[in-house]
Amino acid sequence: MRTRAEANRQRWAILGVAAAVLVLSFVLLKSAYYQLVLTQVLLWAVLSLAWNILCGYSGYFSFGHAGFWGLGAYTVALGMMYFDLSPWISIPFCALVGAAAGAIIGYPTFRLRGHYFALAMLAYPLATLYVFQWLGYQELTLPMKREAPLLYMQFEDPRGYVVLALGLLVVALLISLKVENSRFGMSLMAIKQNEPAAEAAGINTWRWKMLALMLSGALAAVAGGLYAVILLVVTPETVFGMLVSAQALILALFGGVGSLWGPVIGAVVLVPLAEGLNAELGDVLPGIQGVVYGVAIIAIILLAPEGVYWRVLDRFSKRAPAAEPPSQMPARATNIAPLPRAPVSTGADLLVLRDIGISFGGLRALDGIDLTLPEGGLYGIIGPNGAGKTTLFNVINGFLASDSGAITFAGEAITGLRPNQVCRRGVGRTFQVVRAFPRMSVLENVIVGAFIRAPTDAVARDMALAALDRVGLADQAEKIAGGLTTRELRLMELARALVPHPRLMLLDETLAGLGHDDLGGILGVIRQLRADGITVLIIEHTMHAMVQLVDHFTVLDHGRLIATGRPQDVVRDSRVIEAYLGKKWSDRVAVPAK
């Protein structure tokens, strides 16, 4: 998330670019041809920005933005042909069409991830292409309006189109900027870097992804509508074809995915390059232009794999995190501030599991688990590898749906809720392998967790700072998460789970992989959680640490709950010893006990 000053700088940059385009168009470029190419640069930049809103920020790649572009183009063309609708009306209407298409496409498609999502998106424009062919719209022309050309967006002067396309580009840039600087963009970036972590941190990933696709579709459709007005001929192949989707993707990849200026850079360089090659080589050695264009793209991608924008940024600013911590945040590694919260009535049952069972194929991962956690304690779950501990957590926080049983949290049934909904009800969790957002700063990582409680982004920031302070990471706030040590990552994840003030914390092997010196600090933080009245359920292998830490032990083995009770009793239970060490050891322990 950018600071306000940075956002302002970006706004000035957008205005500057707009002014430069106007100067270029009205003062420098005399020929209608260059005006046409300039218009195309602007329009393709808008499409690529639209693509970037979904794909650049959330990481969900779409090979199918031609779908939106084409729907926009056909909306304008059909509106004008059959309803005499002026593009002044139909182009804004394209936004609705695009958003609706986004919603319809997103609903089934967001069940998929990664390459599967990208490929499914590819199918939509290709299928739509055939639908429009079948409908008999193989070749539409926008009628020339001789009486009232301006009323139908038909300008004698090509600069009219430059101004329109520029206006659209400015709008697209401002929308992108707004997205980047809000919880919308932060949530998308969190989804991109680690979707389960984002979901567990309370982000409604489904909603943000849908919104991104709808916004992206709306922008792409509006650009497609304007494209129809400029080209005046609409055929399914030109607007739904692979080339359009590829163009959106290539421009952004070339310029820099996930950046505000990347798509613009891509369009400014590649569109005139392609056209220049067509002009210079098309009539001399037809076909060679495609080869040169391809080679140019390959060369630049090799030199700047993340795109030109990021490459240049790296060169000039090193993109290093701010080395000095902000001065207003004194480092207080040991002094843990109390959590502001209402006093809890300890003793009432906070989490109740009844008969939880889940199978993966033939494997019974959890079987008839009954567990009751009264509020306010520190509970441990132990068990050998594969006992079902993490699976149990995944069932509680909604990553997995159990085959049977019911979960009640604070008197409310939470069975079958999505992770973000469980999080909203006050269940925080950390992961066995830390799920950080590695390219975001520590502070941003924690801010993501604060959104569910923070009414504004500023409040989220303050809450995140406070949480970092509590775990003793305040001095690392500006560091990029990718560069943290294991201990710092664990603490950061704790802070992220802590920031919305949960009632129950699920800690999955938080102590794993830590040295003896690091252990102390984290144990302190965990004890402090209990002191603040947060109920803690912790999974751990390290029996030694657990015995020191928890009030109450539950032991799982092969998906069954085999023992529960006070730590000192449980470690003597022969079934527990057998589970951990084998029958031989349990016998040996049992004999002296007699």
Partner 1 sequence: MQNSPTRRSVTAGLALGAVSLPALRVGTASAQAKSVKIAMIAPLSGPWARQGQLLRQGADMAVEEFNSQGGIKSLGGAKLEIIYADAGDNTEKAKNAAQRLLSDHPDLVGGSGAWLSSFTLAVTEVTERAQLPWLTLSYSDAITNRGFKFVFQTSPTAEWQAAETLPTALKLAEHATGKRPKTIGVIQDNTASPVSFGKHLREGGGLEKVGLKATVDQIFTPPLSDATPLVDKLRSAKPDFLLLLTSAMPDCKLVLEKLDEFKLAKGKMPLVGNGAPFGSPELLNTIGPELLEGMLFSVANWPLKGQEEFIERFKKRTGEPFATQDALCGYGDVAILKEALEAAGAADKLKVAEAIRQMNLTTGPAAQFFPGPIKFDEKGRRQDVPMIFAQWQKGVPLTVFPEDRALAKPFWPSV
Q: Taking a C-beta distance cutoff of 8 angstroms, is the pair 450, 231 a contact?
A: no
The overall longest dimension of the chain from CA atoms, in Å, is 107
Question: If binding is defined by CB under 8 A, does position 147 make contact with partner 1?
Answer: no
Q: Pick between residue 282 and residue 513 the one whose CB is nearest to partner 1.
A: 282
Using CB under 8 A as the binding rule, the residues of this chain from 455 to 494 that contact partner 1 are: none
* Cα–Cα distance, 71 to 56 (Å, whole number): 22
Q: Which residue has the tokens 């009640």?
A: 408
Q: Which of 20, 243, 433, 590 binds partner 1 (CB under 8 A)?
A: 243
Question: If binding is defined by CB under 8 A, does position 156 make contact with partner 1?
Answer: yes
* Cα–Cα distance, 557 to 579 (Å, whole number): 7
Q: Pick between residue 40 and residue 415 the one whose CB is nearest to partner 1.
A: 40
Mind giving me the DSSP string for 146-207? SSSTGGGT--SSTHHHHHHHHHHHHHHHHHHHHHHTSHHHHHHHHHHH-HHHHHHTT--HHH
**Which positions ≥6 away from 395 have C-beta within 8 Å?**
356, 358, 366, 401, 402, 407
Q: Which of 141, 335, 485, 486 binds partner 1 (CB under 8 A)?
A: 141
Q: Taking a C-beta distance cutoff of 8 angstroms, is the pair 395, 407 a contact?
A: yes
Question: If binding is defined by CB under 8 A, does position 139 make contact with partner 1?
Answer: yes
Q: Do the strands 233-234 and 140-141 form a parallel or antiparallel pair, or are they unpaired? A: antiparallel
Contact segment (CB under 8 A) with partner 1 among 141-149, 317-325, 409-417, 563-571 equals 141-149
Q: Pick between residue 160 and residue 321 the one whose CB is nearest to partner 1.
A: 160
Q: Which of 22, 103, 170, 232 binds partner 1 (CB under 8 A)?
A: 232
Question: If binding is defined by CB under 8 A, does position 133 make contact with partner 1?
Answer: yes
Mind giving me the DSSP string for 301-345? HHH-TT-HHHHHHHHHHTTPPPSSPPTTS---SS-PPPP--PPP-
Q: Pick between residue 40 and residue 441 the one whose CB is nearest to partner 1.
A: 40
Contact segment (CB under 8 A) with partner 1 among 51-59, 131-139, 557-565, 573-581 equals 131-139
Q: Which of 235, 402, 415, 564 binds partner 1 (CB under 8 A)?
A: 235
Least distance (Å) between residue 261 CB and partner 1: 24
Least distance (Å) between residue 176 CB and partner 1: 24
Q: Pick between residue 233 and residue 363 the one whose CB is nearest to partner 1.
A: 233
Question: If binding is defined by CB under 8 A, does position 138 make contact with partner 1?
Answer: yes
Least distance (Å) between residue 172 CB and partner 1: 20
Question: If binding is defined by CB under 8 A, does position 28 make contact with partner 1?
Answer: no
Question: If binding is defined by CB under 8 A, does position 432 make contact with partner 1?
Answer: no
Question: If binding is defined by CB under 8 A, does position 328 make contact with partner 1?
Answer: no
Using CB under 8 A as the binding rule, the residues of this chain from 251 to 310 that contact partner 1 are: 275, 278-291
Question: If binding is defined by CB under 8 A, does position 143 make contact with partner 1?
Answer: yes
Query: Using CB under 8 A as the criterion, what x/- string covers residues 33-52 for binding partner 1?
Result: xx-xx--x------------
Q: Do the strands 535-539 and 552-557 form a parallel or antiparallel pair, or are they unpaired? A: unpaired
Least distance (Å) between residue 237 CB and partner 1: 7
* Cα–Cα distance, 384 to 367 (Å, whole number): 16
* Cα–Cα distance, 290 to 285 (Å, whole number): 11
**Which positions ≥6 away from 93 have C-beta within 8 Å?**
75, 79
Return the amino acid letter for 256: G
Beta-bridged to residue 563, according to DSSP, are 555
* Cα–Cα distance, 368 to 560 (Å, whole number): 7
Please give the residue ranges that form the binding site for partner 1 (CB under 8 A). 31-34, 36-37, 40, 130, 133-134, 136, 138-139, 141, 143-144, 146, 156, 231-233, 235, 237-238, 241, 243, 275, 278-291
